[in-house]
Amino acid sequence: MHRTMNLLRRYGVMYALLIPGMLYFAVFKYVPMVYIAAAFKNYNVLQGLWESPWVGWQNFQLFFDGVYVKQIIGNTILISFYKLIFSFPAPIILALMLNAVTSTGFKRTIQTLSYLPHFLSWVIIYGLLVAFLAPGTGLVNQLLTSFHMDRMSFLTESSLIRTIIVTTDIWQSIGWGAIIYLAALTGIDPSLYEAATMDGANRSRQLWHITLPGIRNVIILMLVLRLSAILDVGFDQIFIMLNPLNQEKADVIETWVYRVGLQEGRIGLATAVGLFKSVIGFVLVLGANRVAKKFDGQIW
């Protein structure tokens, strides 16, 4: 007890800073777990969770027997795969480039400009897209017209929507994501570069044999965390960009759950799909962490 009181007196401020985060997870992450039972019930708001009739695996069967299940799962996997291939390496590349910059002023300017999009909501970002890509007044289409080229409906074209989703995701997250890699790069011993230079190693060899191995564990950790959310492709982003003309290529599990759960009121079915996503993410984390152990980059 005496030791506990000493710790509270010594680290009381730090413990207090933990309270908002703990409350957030308790209220929005742990308390909703009680309603996982709705996935196995024909949930009725008037009857409540415990009085609603039990239907077992029926909600899961309804989802997998649905007409659009292949389309929404396929879109989710493809968009998530594209983001993993293109969005995940982007902050690493930016961090490596910034680390090589010697001008402090230029480096800070690039960092500031790359961080700013992170603080813009997807509504604002979509407004910028409309300003640039709208068929009638968009800047890009006006340029196409000036060169006697046909206008394009970028935001309603199903063949382009995935490219727009991935590109805007990179633009919005690249700067903020680079922060952790820049922090990891500062932990590399400068004497390693000095020794490599004396041995005649050029920039590319230093990058391959010193820099990347120095941040390898951080990269693996971030990859494992990214895989845990492989089916979370960004509801806010896709919901704001979704329309009937591009829905075939952009409709994902999260937007489908929104329509079924909130618009149609089928809470049990929506909860079942959410539970399915969580189980897949959990399995992927376990698998990725087991692979990461071989590289000393596991998270537990």
pLDDT at 102: 83
pLDDT score of 195 more than 70: yes
The β-bridge partners of 44 are 48
pLDDT at 144: 86
Instruction: State pTM to two decimals.
Output: 0.85
Query: CB–CB of 257/59 below 8 Å?
Result: no
Question: Domain residue spans in the chain?
Answer: 69-250
**Confidence tier at 299 by pLDDT (50, 70, 90):** very low
Q: Which of 139-143, 163-167, 279-283 has the highest mean pLDDT?
A: 163-167
For residue 98, give the nearest of 179, 192, 172 by alpha carbon.
179
pLDDT at 200: 83
Count the Cβ atoms, other than its own, within 10 Å of residue 217: 15
Q: What is the C-alpha to C-alpha distance for residues 180 and 218, in angstroms, rounded to an integer?
A: 8
pLDDT at 1: 64
The β-bridge partners of 54 are 41
How would you write 158-218 as a 3-class SS string? HHHHHHHHHHHHHHHHHHHHHHHHHHHHCCCCHHHHHHHHHCCCCHHHHHHHHHHHHCHHH
Mean of pLDDT values over 97-104: 88
pLDDT score of 173 more than 90: yes
Query: CB–CB of 151/141 below 8 Å?
Result: yes
The string of pLDDT tens digits covering residues 222-256 is: 888 888 778 889 899 999 999 999 999 999 999 99
Q: What is the C-alpha to C-alpha distance for residues 170 and 79, in angstroms, rounded to an integer?
A: 13
**Confidence tier at 177 by pLDDT (50, 70, 90):** very high
Token pair recorded at residue 68: 């659009």
- Give the mean pLDDT of the chain: 88
Count the Cβ atoms, other than its own, within 10 Å of residue 3: 7
pLDDT score of 300 more than 70: no
pLDDT score of 261 more than 70: yes
The string of pLDDT tens digits covering residues 111-149 is: 999 999 999 999 999 999 999 988 878 888 888 888 888
* Of residues 10 and 80, more confidently modeled: 80
Tokens 């990347």 correspond to 212
How would you write 1-37 as a 3-class SS string? CHHHHHHHHHHHHHHHHHHHHHHHHHHHHHHHHHHHH
Residue range 69-250 forms a domain whose CATH class is: mainly alpha
pLDDT at 84: 92
Query: CB–CB of 94/112 below 8 Å?
Result: no
pLDDT score of 29 more than 80: yes
CA distances from 80 to 87, 131, 195, 234 (A): 10, 26, 41, 9
Q: Which of 189-198, 266-275, 287-296 has the highest mean pLDDT?
A: 266-275
Count the Cβ atoms, other than its own, within 10 Å of residue 138: 20
pLDDT at 94: 94
pLDDT score of 77 more than 70: yes
The β-bridge partners of 41 are 54
